[in-house]
Amino acid sequence: MTLRADSSAEQTTVFITAPETFPCYPVGPPRRCSSLKSTEDFYAPILACFHPPVRPLLLFLILKVLTNHLGYEAVGPKHAVILGKADDKITGCTLKNNANDQPVVTVPAQAVGSVKKWRDWSFWTADFDNLAVEGTYYLECATNQGAIRSFPFAIQKHLLGRNTISDVLYYLKDERSSGPMDEADRHLHFDGKKAGTLDAHGGWWDATGDYGKHLSHLSFSTYFNPPQIPLVIYSLFKSRELLDRSGAPEFRRYKDRMLDEAIFGADYLVRVKDPAASF
């Protein structure tokens, strides 16, 4: 293989290209990744070819502070996990303000140990439930191999709704049936000998790239039919009701969009319902 390293004072980035003869790599038959006991087993032969050793990269690959990707609700549990190996030492963590790097609170690291069949990893937990001040933070932990830190994360009131509802509504609106196929759905013929047509335009496509519209994708079965389009409509109406009840000003604009999407879906259900029966 061919390797190229771009180094700076902060880090070294390794680029691996086409397989060729590489004198630094151990002589012998190729090793399967699944047979390696740790990440370090895989990277150490490569990193050893560089001087100075590329320890920062290796440290990044093994020792990590893992936090909730979205962030944490202001009032509620807040847990982080430190991923390392059995011989790593985590002496303590500090929650810092991401804007100015100022320490906010000291957080003890509690050793948990390993998980059966999860490679050679060991884990520690850090809990900071009592912090309820909104802001963007990161968790920095002192270890026997230097300080490590998490990616920045938010602590925020109504965190889940404020950071996901808008994306969900945009996704649903993007999945609305439209264009030539939706135009064709306005004059659908029945299977068999039944005369006439049905206006079945509207509704949402099942998924990105799937242009089917399904009340349930298990309609051929008798039991356990998951309601797809109907459940979305119910969820939108019910969610708007709950947001209205919460009185939270952060959701004011979302409620109108949610109602618009729910009515769009309900119109489709009315059109495809058999007046003399059900759906």
What pLDDT score does 137 carry? 98
DSSP assignment of 203-248 equals SB-SBTTB----S-TTTTSSS-PPPSHHHHHHHHHHHHHHHHHHT-
At 38, list the tokens. 């740790």
The pLDDT of residue 6 is above 60: no
pLDDT reported for residue 110: 95
Q: What is the dihedral of CA 24, 26, 30, 34, to 10 degrees?
A: -100
pLDDT band at 226 (very low <50, low <70, confident <90, very high): confident
Token pair in block for residue 61: 């690959």
Among 115, 117, 107, residue whose Cα is nearest residue 149: 107
Q: Is the pLDDT of residue 72 over 50?
A: yes
The pLDDT of residue 44 is: 52
Mean pLDDT of 110-119: 93
* pLDDT value at residue 2: 39
Number of other residues whose CB lies within 10 A of the CB of residue 47: 20
Say which residues have a Cβ less than 8 Å from residue 81's Cβ, sequence separation at least 6. Answer: 65, 66, 123, 124, 125, 126
Residue 27 DSSP label: S
Cα dihedral angle (48, 91, 63, 130), rounded to 10 degrees? -160
| pLDDT more than 90, % of the chain | 62
Q: What is the DSSP string of 36-103?
A: -SSHHHHHHHHHTTSSS--HHHHHHHH-EEE--SS-EESSS--EEEEEEETT--EEEEEEEETTT--E
pLDDT digits 0-9 by tens, 34-71: 333 444 454 555 444 444 444 444 444 589 999 999 99
CA-wise closest residue to 239 among 226, 256, 225: 256
pLDDT reported for residue 9 = 46
The pTM assigned to this predicted structure is 0.68
Topology, domain 63-156: Immunoglobulin-like (2.60.40)
The pLDDT assigned to 51 comes to 43
Question: Is-contact 89 143, C-beta < 8 A?
Answer: yes
Question: How many angstroms separate the CA atoms of 132 and 256, rounded?
Answer: 30
Residue 11 in this model has a pLDDT that exceeds 70? no
Asked whether residue 231 carries a pLDDT value surpassing 50, the answer given is: yes
Give me the long-range contacts of 42-51 (CB less than 8 A, separation at least 24): 46/3, 46/14, 46/16, 47/14, 48/24, 49/3, 49/24, 50/5, 50/12, 50/14
pLDDT top residue among 32 and 223: 223
Where exactly are the structural domains of the chain? Answer: 3-61, 63-156, 159-272
Q: Across residues 244-252, what is the average pLDDT?
A: 91
pLDDT band at 14 (very low <50, low <70, confident <90, very high): very low
**Residue 24 pLDDT > 90:** no
What integer best gives the mean pLDDT of the chain?
Answer: 82
Mean pLDDT of 223-233: 86
Do 101 and 136 meet the contact criterion of CB atoms below 8 Å apart?
Answer: no
By mean pLDDT, which of 22-31, 112-121, 128-137, 152-161 is the weakest? Answer: 22-31
For residue 257, the surrounding DSSP H or E stretch is helix 252-272
pLDDT category of residue 105 using cuts at 50, 70 and 90: very high
Lowest average pLDDT, out of 2-16, 22-36, 181-195, goes to: 22-36
Q: What is the dihedral of CA 237, 242, 247, 253, to 10 degrees?
A: -30
